[in-house]
Structure 1
Amino acid sequence: MSATITTTTEPEQYVHYHDGGVPGKRRILTGKAAKDTFNELPKIDFRRIYSHDINDRKELAREVGAACRDIGFFYAVNHGVDEDLLNDTFEAVRKYFDLPTDIKMECHNQKTEKFRGYEAFLEGKLDPNTRGDLKEGFLMGEDATDPEQNRPITPATAEPRNQWPSHPSAAFFRPAIYRYYNAMYDFSKRMLHIFALALDLPEDYFDVITTHPMTNIRAVHYPPQEIESDVGIGAHTDFCWFTLVCQSQTKLPALEVLNGNGIWVPVEPARNTFVVNVADFLKMVTGGTWQSTVHRVRNMGGEERYSMPFFFSPNEDGKVGVLEQFREPGKTYEEVVVGEYFQRRLDVDRTTHLEEGEGRRPYI
């Protein structure tokens, strides 16, 4: 008597995302096909970033380097930025997003080439399979015409880039954002030295291309998601040097990081921490050795969520290429002009999907 054995093969499943501005996908691996990958983010104590002892900073850099190679994300614990300042900034961000829509729309980001200002609900769309990103945001960044930044005005920087609300009810917002901006800028300059040490470079190696760095704060409001297919922001990588994320304290995590098996790993909100991630330029200079890791936001916990990522990049006219230690003999490598790459990614990631002549999509 013979038996017939029938084998069925499950169809392959993929996660889709934007990587370097280019659509990509990763197969979801389970069972015997699964790789050895991460299932949580490491927590790294950053008190050593303020140490006068170079050995302390090098020890910190070794931990940071390992996280950048293996994951591309980590928690910076005990970062030293004043907690009251962070709480005050979150309160200002909440107040801003509670303002009437017409006051926020005065600074609609479609009025500027750099997409600075207010982004309304569903106007971004990183995942084409969704109705749009379920968030509203406000973007500001490097601007020599803003006196708070004390930057030299040149022919290339003489035109205003930022927009700020003029209504008296929003007068609190600009000074609050600039207090946060200054604190994050100072911490980022220290962080840049740690990244250099992690790459076995002199601590000040990257200083020459970050004399007037490109910098951004995107204040973001994610309402609770009621539709399973919605996403706060679609899966993507960041187009900067690195990102520091300060997220509000919600009971359930909303930020998720994609691991090597195509599984989404939740990033729990934790007090007195920044979530730090490698972005495209650091991946670029390390020849892909460091990971610019795909991430997204899905706010399914029933609470309002606020996030204040700070993006740090080299100078706009700076050029970056693969560091010598990561180059293969006989292979040709090109340099990228930072500002040009940044604008290309901005056009891909932040262009509205509103049709010409249509009104703003309603948030419901």
Structure 2
Amino acid sequence: MSTTETQTETEQHVHYHDGGVPGKRRILTGKAAKPTFNSLPRIDMRRVFSDDLAERKELAAEVGAACRDVGFFVAVNHGVDQEILDDTFDAVKQYFDLPTNIKMESHNQKTDKFRGYEAFLEGKLDPSTRGDLKEGFLMGEDATDPEQNRPITPATAKPRNQWPTAPEAAFFRPAIYRYYNHMFDYSKRLLGIFALALDLPEDHFDAVTTAPMTNVRVVHYPPQKSDTDVGIGAHTDFCWFTLVCQSQTKDPALEVLNANGIWVPVHPERNTFVVNVADFLKLVTGGTWQSTVHRVRNMGGEERYSMPFFFSPNEDGVVSVLPQFRKPGQEYEEIVVGEYFQRRLDVDRTTHLEEGEGRRVYI
């Protein structure tokens, strides 16, 4: 039995983190099984560039159905040049091949935003494991990085990103920013499609995404030799939505949890993005859209690389359930985006590193 499952005399459950809170789902089979998905819908995204509003609304209807029924879809014909994706993967592989001391110079425990390098087994979303069998690098919105051309204010004057300074790593920052800029532009287009899918004006979310919180997190998953390991434990994403580009491995490693507690594999496909709804879109739709649990188990014997791009509203943005999803007489909380985001970071990134008298300190 895998590390994310438990069994009583009569029931089996899958355990996960949803919104930073531990949860579990019963595994349903036979007559107890519910109608649910067994694969991800594929959506042709060429219409996102159409000048015809009717075509964009047609696309939005397909996206909305996927967000309600699955919480994930595979975006094909997305318009980002495959050469850019290939070049970024090459840079990512080269970065993770660098000596450990060069990567550790920008270790993520040196910043409160957890930007920079994360070493193997430091994350631990599944408490039954020894830790997440991966290494990663995280960057995001930072007004002090000139590449982003963002205004510096008192709230944004402190640097957030860390970058390796060794000459051997000079290739990495420009490669990541090239990818970041293309994913940022594409995400802004996709945001309008999400608005249309909710029967809102296409620019409805523009006011709360004038300076969005954004991240690129590149990840290296070595082959798992033990079924008790996990690349990253079962969880939901704490952003607005996520775009994932996967390296080409023979066997799938990303798995999505359906309503019956069954893990559905997501096969890597060249020139596609895996798109998933995250916690904020689940929140504003009153749970109508699914922030679906997923994990990575790299059991195919190959090195795997992944490049998720996370998009969220402004850090000082306030979001709540949209009027069309509210129930009469019920009160709805307003959530400050940056505060929720930081709480989730603290849960997902630090608990495993708290030892004895307190958190490890890296200098």
TM-score normalised by length of structure 2: 0.95
Counterparts of 1:83 and 1:332, CA distance in 2 = 46
Q: What's the counterpart of residue 283 of structure 2?
A: 284
Counterparts of 1:356 and 1:86, CA distance in 2 = 43
Mapping 1:212-361, distance limit 5 Å: 212-351=211-350, 353-354=352-353, 355=355
Q: Aligned letter for 2:271? A: N
Mapping 1:115-264, distance limit 5 Å: 115-264=114-263
CA contact (8 A) 1:224 1:299 kept: yes
Aligned residue for 1:221, secondary structure, equals: strand
Q: Aligned letter for 1:315? A: N
Q: Output the aligned Cα RMSD.
A: 1.4
Q: What's the counterpart of residue 65 of structure 2?
A: 66
Q: What's the counterpart of residue 6 of structure 1?
A: none
C-alpha displacement at 1:61, in angstroms? 0.2
Counterparts of 1:164 and 1:172, CA distance in 2 = 11
Alpha-carbon displacement from aligned partner over 1:326-351 (angstroms, at most 9, x marks no partner): 00011111110000000000101111
Counterparts of 1:267 and 1:53, CA distance in 2 = 32
CA contact (8 A) 2:350 2:359 kept: no
C-alpha displacement at 1:199, in angstroms? 0.2
Q: Aligned letter for 1:270? A: E
In the alignment, structure 1 segments of 5+ residues that lack a partner are: 1-8
Q: Aligned letter for 1:279? A: A
TM-score normalised by length of structure 1: 0.95
Counterparts of 1:47 and 1:234, CA distance in 2 = 33
Q: Aligned letter for 1:143? A: D
Aligned residue for 1:246, secondary structure, equals: strand
Counterparts of 2:358 and 2:34, CA distance in 1 = 46
Q: Aligned letter for 1:127? A: D
In the alignment, structure 2 segments of 5+ residues that lack a partner are: 1-7
Q: What's the counterpart of residue 5 of structure 2?
A: none
Alpha-carbon displacement from aligned partner over 1:104-157 (angstroms, at most 9, x marks no partner): 000000000000000000000000000000000000000000000000100000
Counterparts of 2:359 and 2:71, CA distance in 1 = 39
Counterparts of 1:359 and 1:321, CA distance in 2 = 33
CA contact (8 A) 2:220 2:304 kept: yes
Q: What's the counterpart of residue 106 of structure 2?
A: 107
C-alpha displacement at 1:272, in angstroms? 1.3
Q: Which has the larger radius of gyration?
A: 1
Alpha-carbon displacement from aligned partner over 1:298-348 (angstroms, at most 9, x marks no partner): 000000000000000000000000000000011111110000000000101
Residue-pair matches, total: 352
Alpha-carbon displacement from aligned partner over 1:259-295 (angstroms, at most 9, x marks no partner): 0000000000011110000000000000000000000
C-alpha displacement at 1:249, in angstroms? 0.4
Q: Aligned letter for 1:95? A: Q
CA contact (8 A) 1:244 1:277 kept: yes
Q: What's the counterpart of residue 15 of structure 2?
A: 16
Counterparts of 1:81 and 1:215, CA distance in 2 = 18
Q: Aligned letter for 1:42? A: P
CA contact (8 A) 2:284 2:319 kept: yes
Q: What's the counterpart of residue 3 of structure 1?
A: none
* Percent identity for Structure 1 against Structure 2: 83
Q: What's the counterpart of residue 4 of structure 2?
A: none
Counterparts of 1:304 and 1:56, CA distance in 2 = 40
Aligned residue for 1:310, secondary structure, equals: strand
Counterparts of 1:175 and 1:350, CA distance in 2 = 26
CA contact (8 A) 1:49 1:60 kept: yes
Aligned residue for 1:351, secondary structure, equals: helix
CA contact (8 A) 1:14 1:28 kept: yes
Matched, 1:45 2:66: no
Counterparts of 2:326 and 2:154, CA distance in 1 = 36
Q: What's the counterpart of residue 77 of structure 2?
A: 78
